[in-house]
Amino acid sequence: PELTIPAGSERSADSSGHRVRPDGTIFFPYVGTVQVGGKTLEEIRTLLTTKLSRYIQDPQLDVSVAAYRSQKVHVTGEIAKPGILPITDTPLTLLDAVAASGGENPEADLSRVILTRNGQREVLDLQAALAEGLIGYNRLLRDGDLVHVPDRSTRKVFVMGEVEKQSVQLMQKTGMSLAEALGQAGGVDKKVGDGSRIFVLRAGHGSDAPVEAFNLNASTPEAMLLATRFELEPLDIVYVDITGLGQWNNIITQLWPTIQSVRYIADTVNTVE
C-alpha cells in the first residue's frame, strides 16, 4: 500500500512530504512519531524501513528532502546582493555563495573573505582559489555560517623615503610586487635616493610578533629584476634610504641659513674693520 499520495501534476513534492517539526520529529503512517533531526537520508530510510517491516512485508522507501526551510547561510559585505542563502541538497561552497549573491563588487577583496562558524573566524583567500586552483580555500558551507566579503581599504602599502612621490597605494586583486610599488611612486629619487638600500618593513602577526625587514640592493638594472618577484603584503612599508651624499646635502641644507648668517656677520665685521 502507498503510505503517502505521490507528487504529480496535482500535488507538489513539498506538500506530499512530511514536515520536520521544531523538535526534529515527523509523523509517519503506521510508525508514528520518529526522530529524524540530525540523521542522514540513508539513516532515516533504514529506520523507517525497519519499523514498517512489522506491518508491511519488504517495504520499499525512497527518502529525499522535498524542501529546505531551516538551513541557511548569511552573506554580507562587498557583493551585489547581500542576504540569506538556503542550503539545499546541492552542496554550497564559498564561491557558490558569492556567485549566488550576484558576484563581488569592484572594491571587494576576495583574498580576505571571512568565514564565521560557531563563533570562530577564519580568513580565506578566494582569489587564490580562483587564480591558482587552491580549492582548499573554497570551503563547503554549513547551516548558520556567516560569510563576509571585505573591501580593499586595508589592502594598501606605504611607499616612503627617497622616492619621487611618497604615497599610499591600494593593491590590485592580483597583488602587487615591490617593483610595481616603486614604479607607481616614480622610482628612486636619482639625486638623493640609495638604490642599494631599499627596505620592506612587515609587521608580524600578533601584537608580540617582531617586525620583519627585507633589504633589496637594486643598484643595478639586473638586481631590479628581483623586485618584480618580491610580492608585497597588505600594510607593508617600502622605504628607500638616503645616500651618504644625500645625508650630507640634507645637513648642509639644514645648516645653510646659519652658515649664511655667520658669513654675513663675518663680512660685516670685516667691513667695519
At 30-50, the pLDDT tens digits run 888 989 888 888 998 998 898
Better-predicted residue by pLDDT, 230 or 210: 230
Left if phi > 0, otherwise alpha if psi is -120 to 50, otherwise beta: which for 54? alpha
pLDDT number for residue 15: 57
Mean of per-residue pLDDT scores for the chain: 79
Q: Are 1-67 and 156-242 equal in CATH topology? A: no
> 78 phi and psi, to 5 degrees?
-85, 65
What architecture does CATH give domain 156-242?
A: Roll (3.10)
How many residues in total does the chain contain?
273
What would the pLDDT profile of 101-113 be if each residue is shown by its tens digit? 999 888 888 888 9
Cell of 4: 503517502
Quote the pLDDT of residue 207.
Answer: 63
Model confidence band, residue 255 (pLDDT cutoffs 50, 70, 90): very low
pLDDT in tens, 57-83: 888 888 887 766 678 899 999 999 999
Beta strands in the chain (DSSP E): 25-28, 32-35, 72-77, 83-86, 113-117, 120-124, 146-149, 156-161, 167-170, 193-202, 212-216, 237-242
pLDDT score of 265: 41
Spell 37-46 as b/e; 16+ CB within 10 A means b. eeeeeeebbe
The string over 61-77, giving b where at least 16 C-beta atoms fall within 10 Å of a residue's C-beta and e elsewhere, is: eebeeeeeeebbbebeb
What string of DSSP letters covers 18-67? -PPPTTSEEEETTTEEEE-TT--HHHHHHHHHHHHTTTSSS-------S-
Average pLDDT estimate for 195-211: 77
CA separation for the pair 257, 81 (Å, rounded):
62
The yes-or-no verdict on residue 238 having pLDDT over 60 is yes
Cα–Cα distance between 85 and 55 in angstroms, integer? 41
SS3 (DSSP) at 9: coil
CATH architecture of 72-149: Roll (3.10)
pLDDT value of position 145 = 93
User: For the chain, what are the domain ranges?
Assistant: 1-67, 72-149, 156-242
Among the listed ranges 91-100, 117-126, 206-215, which one has the minimum average pLDDT value? 206-215
Give residue 255's identity as a one-letter amino acid code.
L
Section 134-141 average pLDDT: 82
Mean pLDDT for 217-229 is: 78
**Cα distance between residue 228 and residue 149, in whole Å:** 29
Cα–Cα distance measured from residue 65 to residue 13, given in angstroms and rounded to the nearest whole number = 9
Residues 146-195: tens digit of each pLDDT: 999 988 877 888 998 888 998 888 887 778 899 899 999 998 888 888 88
* pLDDT for residue 81: 93
pLDDT value of residue 268: 46
Examine the pLDDT at 236 and tell me if it is beyond 60. Answer: yes
Q: How far is CA 65 from the centre of its chain?
A: 33
pLDDT exceeds 50 at position 138:
yes
For 1-67, CATH number out of 3.40.630.10, 3.50.50.60, 3.20.20.450, 3.30.1950.10 equals: 3.30.1950.10
Amino acid letter, residue 121:
R
pLDDT of 52 reads 87
- pTM of the full predicted structure? 0.55
DSSP assignment letter at 135: G
Across the range 51-56, mean pLDDT stands at: 87
